[in-house]
Chain A
Amino acid sequence: EAGVTQFPSHSVIEKGQTVTLRCDPISGHDNLYWYRRVMGKEIKFLLHFVKESKQDESGMPNNRFLAERTGGTYSTLKVQPAELEDSGVYFCASSQEEVDGYTFGSGTRLTVV
């Protein structure tokens, strides 16, 4: 079984540019989550999809962040325009419906310079 896959693994962009992160969850997992870890701090929740619907987007920092999950399969997280404070590791995770325990992807390390 393939795990949760994230692309790219690393991204370095200039302030003001746009970056799109992609997450492919485990096949059949309806729940998809985005989290972010800023250097040395906790892993913070961004949002939660159930299939293609946003179940909880209370962690999205501002309207420069846009997440989509068209068709309820893979998800993208776009940051536009990127700011320095957006730097960090963005993790995606997925889980089956009504089952505890996520499977995380390896993350995308985003550096905004």
Chain B
Amino acid sequence: GENVEQHPSTLSVQEGDSAVIKCTYSDSASNYFPWYKQELGKRPQLIIDIRSNVGEKKDQRIAVTLNKTAKHFSLHITETQPEDSAVYFCAASNGTASKLTFGTGTRLQVTL
């Protein structure tokens, strides 16, 4: 089955700096890669996703890149703000509406 590894487990950046979280996956059949943000005590929320026919996708300060050959994908947050502090999860799946395999999460702390 699919295995998703996520690094780093914790990340501390100063406000205004960029943050990068990296994930690798094992199943070459995976074709959908969402990222979820979970603030303390709240539900995981989808912040951006990418399909395997696209190499990069951007939404304001958030971008995701995908390297199918190397089987890795990354989340990039620019101009970080304190409200970006949360746990971020990457995930992978191999079909529409199929189960997601999650990484172990990255706790991002944006300091003033």
* A contacts, CB < 8 Å to B: 3-4, 31, 33, 35, 40-45, 48, 50, 56, 58-59, 91, 95, 97-107
Contacts and interface: CB of A to CB of B under 8 A. Distances in A.
Contacts of A33: 99
A98 B102 contact: no
A43 B43 contact: no
A41 B96 contact: no
A48 B99 contact: yes
Interface residues of B, number: 23
Contacts of B46: 101-103
A42 B44 contact: no
20 contacts: A33-B99, A40-B104, A42-B102, A42-B104, A42-B105, A43-B44, A43-B89, A43-B91, A43-B102, A44-B102, A56-B98, A58-B99, A91-B43, A98-B96, A100-B34, A100-B96, A101-B46, A101-B49, A104-B44, A107-B43
Interface of B: 4, 32, 34, 36, 42-46, 49, 51, 89, 91, 96-105
B42 A106 contact: yes
A106 B34 contact: no
Contact of B44 (A3, A56, A91): A91
Contacts of B102: 35, 42-44
A101 B45 CA distance: 10
A5 B44 CA distance: 13
A8 B99 CA distance: 24
Given A43-B89, A105-B43, A98 B97 contact: yes
Contacts of B45: 104
Nearest to B100: A45
Contact of B49 (A41, A58, A59, A100): A100
Q: Which of B44, B91, B101, B102 has the most CB of A within 10 A?
A: B44
Given A50-B97, A99-B96, A104-B44, 17 more contacts: A35-B102, A42-B102, A43-B89, A43-B91, A45-B100, A45-B101, A56-B99, A91-B44, A95-B97, A97-B97, A98-B96, A98-B97, A100-B32, A100-B96, A101-B49, A105-B43, A106-B42
